[in-house]
Copies of this chain bind each other. A is one copy, B any other.
Amino acid sequence: MRIGEAAGATGVSAKMIRHYEAVGLLPAAARRDSGYRDYGEADVHALRFIRRARDLGFSLSEIAGLLALWRDKARASAEVKRLALAHVEALEEKARDLSAMASTLRHLAAHCHGDARPDCPILEGLAGERG
């Protein structure tokens, strides 16, 4: 199948498929006489793998490692689990950071009456007049 069909079948845009090939995440695709890239079932599986990993927040370099493990039928599952749990930690830390930001800002907003008057604890907080 051509790149557009592969894109439709996997949810990865044609643009990104070419990009993944360019950065070495995928091997160079087979080509037809016309120069068009030609994809098979194995390619579609790899693209779906990449897309799911991206949906789980893995970076492209992390995915490169996961793909290598995936293709290595003899890999130890311990290695995969280690990578996955390290990533879980990173995701949870980012989530905590965002929640803390939201909480701080919500507290500031709670003290702002939010009407036509100009005084505003949110701006005062950002200016450092408190907190």
Contact = CB atoms under 8 A, between A and B. Distances in A.
A28 interface: no
A125 B84 CA distance: 12
A84 B70 contact: no
Nearest to A48: B128
Contact of A77 (B74, B75, B92, B117): B117
A52 B128 contact: yes
Interface in A2-44: none
Interface string A82-121: 1011011001101110110110111011001111111110
Contact of A115 (B76, B109, B117): B76
Interface of A: 45, 48-49, 52-53, 55-57, 66, 69-70, 73-78, 80-82, 84-85, 87-88, 91-92, 94-96, 98-99, 101-102, 104-106, 108-109, 112-120, 122-123, 125-128
